[in-house]
Amino acid sequence: MATFHGLRAQRRELLNDLETLETDITAQTAMLNTASAVSGDPDDHLAWLQRQRAGLLVLLSEAERALLEFSADGWDE
């Protein structure tokens, strides 16, 4: 069973990962808009980044749901 503090740490890590992916998606979109030369297919890479973002959002919502359960049970720090 996960602990409250463990879930908070996981949530923080997921938020950091999400921020990194958002930055990568923004950069990739800018590359596509300016038609910069990149190795590989930039559309495939952007799609991969967007799938990673969607997965992180699912994990983040699960961590937040679990934190809410702890709060409802009176486990606030």
Domain boundaries of the chain, sorted by first residue: 4-33+43-72
Q: Which two tokens stand for residue 37?
A: 């030369």
Q: Report the predicted TM-score, pTM, of the whole model to 2 decimal places.
A: 0.65
Residue-level pLDDT, tens digit, the chain, 77 residues: 678 888 889 999 999 999 999 999 898 888 777 654 545 566 777 888 889 999 999 999 998 888 888 777 765 54
